[in-house]
Amino acid sequence: MPAIKEFQVTFDCAEPERLARFWCEVLGYVVPPGGEGHESWAAAVDPSGAGPRLYFQRVPEGKAAKNRVHFDVRVATGLVGEERLAALETECARLVPLGAVHVRTLYDGNDACIPMLDIEGNEFCLD
């Protein structure tokens, strides 16, 4: 079996370019040359080449249910307790003005995560 060299994550969405730009801001990705100005699709790539390519395709139907797969945006790896919570809250405060929605904060005194929604209602977590 040949090794997988790369993979792409595809989002069905209403506004591909807008959603691509949102995720570029969240992840530090960029819109690749030729990856903008299309009505039906847009793309975002990790400039370091390490992360997967994100592809956004316009579909006619809206989001109907909870995602079965979602991103965990890892901003507090290795942190615990109040330090972890503070790192997650700082990132949440950065993303809300971009259009993300803070759903709730889960914190048990040691571990924490913050479930959020992107600008089209797709679930993701700050972890």
Write out pLDDT tens, residues 10-69: 999 999 999 999 999 999 999 998 766 678 999 999 999 999 999 999 999 988 888 888
pLDDT tier at 95, thresholds 50, 70, 90: very high
Share of the chain above pLDDT 70, in %: 96
pLDDT tier at 107, thresholds 50, 70, 90: very high
d(CA 23, CA 64): 21
Which of 13, 119, 10 has the alpha carbon at shortest distance from 54?
10
pLDDT score of 116? 98
pLDDT score of 35? 64
Residue 93 has pLDDT above 90, yes or no: yes
Helix (H) or strand (E) holding 108: none
Sequence-ordered alpha helix ranges (H) in 1-127: 16-27, 81-95
**For the chain, which domains are there?**
8-58 (3.30.720), 71-126 (no CATH)
The model's pTM: 0.90
